[in-house]
């Protein structure tokens, strides 16, 4: 089954997605003219990347297989995973970033694409951001993967294993994808009841969450 929203068919085909529920495409507005950084690392070497994620305490963590990742409340509502990268051997300017969360049971995917400029970290690498003083300041340089309302996945999004996939493509068409298995969790205790409600399996958009997700 192929489910498409927000004109995502061409985008899905371009990245080889199968069963796909796509959100509206977003863009951080980054471009080469506003980016003085240039190339990071060795142009003769293959790209390298680490998957990173924004946490509820406004810190940034590298994500490994088996890690939990926070689902956070963005300005537009719902819940998202803010997925970013730390990369080298790539052009830091106008880098295409795609983050996707895949249901391993059905292969349904939620994803977000945007163009970003990497921030140098002083060691030949660059990152979506080197620090975050607030979620609102960091979201433009991270893929905002919409996970909830959960009208796409076969299970509760929280507490279950999903596949987090991050792809980068630079202006020279250097491309790399890294995939990690993660467990999404409701990352903000102050908004826990709503998160448990809208991220559960079978949630219907617009359904009241006064039950706290029970």
pLDDT, residue 207, reads 86
pLDDT, residue 202, reads 93
Percent of residues, the chain, with pLDDT higher than 70: 81
For residues 212 and 137, which has the higher predicted lDDT (pLDDT)?
A: 137
Name the residue among 41, 44, 74, 40 with its Cα closest to residue 56. Answer: 74
Residue 29 structure tokens: 């507005």
Whether the CA torsion 158, 159, 163, 166 is positive or negative: it is positive
Cβ proximity of 2 and 107 under 8 Å? no
Q: Alpha carbon of 80 to those of 101, 123, 195: distances in Å?
A: 10, 30, 11
Domain boundaries, the chain: 26-198
Percent of residues, the chain, with pLDDT higher than 90: 70
Looking at CATH, the fold of the domain delimited by 26-198 is given as: Coagulation Factor XIII; Chain A, domain 1 (2.70.50)
| pLDDT tens column, 109-138 | 999 999 999 999 999 999 999 887 667 777
In this structure, of 18-22, 57-61, 191-195, the range with the lowest mean pLDDT score is 18-22
Cβ proximity of 76 and 38 under 8 Å? no
Cβ proximity of 98 and 25 under 8 Å? no
Residue 33 structure tokens: 């003219």
pLDDT exceeds 80 at position 28: no
pLDDT, residue 131, reads 80
Alpha carbon distance 193, 213 (integer Å): 6
| pLDDT tens column, 33-62 | 678 889 999 999 999 999 999 998 889 999
Alpha carbon distance 39, 56 (integer Å): 31
For residue 93, give the 3-state DSSP assignment: coil
pLDDT exceeds 70 at position 6: no
- DSSP letter at 127 equals E
| pLDDT tens column, 140-163 | 999 999 999 999 999 999 999 999
pTM of the model: 0.84
| pLDDT tens column, 65-77 | 999 999 999 998 9
Torsion of CA 203, 82, 48, 62, to 10 degrees: -100
């Amino acid at each position: 089954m192929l489910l498409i929203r927000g004109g995502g068919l061409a985008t899905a085909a371009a990245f080889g997605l199968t069963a796909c529920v796509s959100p509206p495409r977003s863009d951080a507005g980054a471009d080469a003219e506003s980016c003085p950084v240039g190339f990071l690392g060795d142009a003769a070497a293959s790209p390298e990347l680490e998957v990173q994620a924004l946490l509820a305490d406004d810190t940034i963590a590298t994500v490994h297989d088996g890690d939990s990742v926070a689902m956070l409340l963005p300005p537009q509502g719902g819940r998202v995973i803010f997925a970013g990268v730390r990369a080298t051997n790539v052009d830091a300017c106008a880098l295409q970033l795609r983050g996707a969360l895949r249901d391993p049971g059905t292969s349904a995917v939620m994803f977000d694409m945007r163009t970003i400029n990497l921030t140098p970290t002083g060691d030949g690498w660059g990152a979506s951001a080197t620090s975050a003083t607030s979620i609102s300041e960091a979201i433009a340089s991270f893929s905002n993967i919409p996970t909830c309302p959960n009208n796409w996945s076969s299970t509760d999004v929280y507490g279950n294993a999903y596949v987090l996939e991050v792809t980068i493509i630079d202006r020279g068409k250097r491309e790399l994808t890294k995939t990690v298995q993660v467990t999404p969790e409701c990352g903000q205790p102050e908004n826990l009841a709503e998160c448990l409600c809208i991220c559960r399996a079978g949630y219907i958009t617009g359904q009241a969450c006064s039950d706290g997700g029970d």
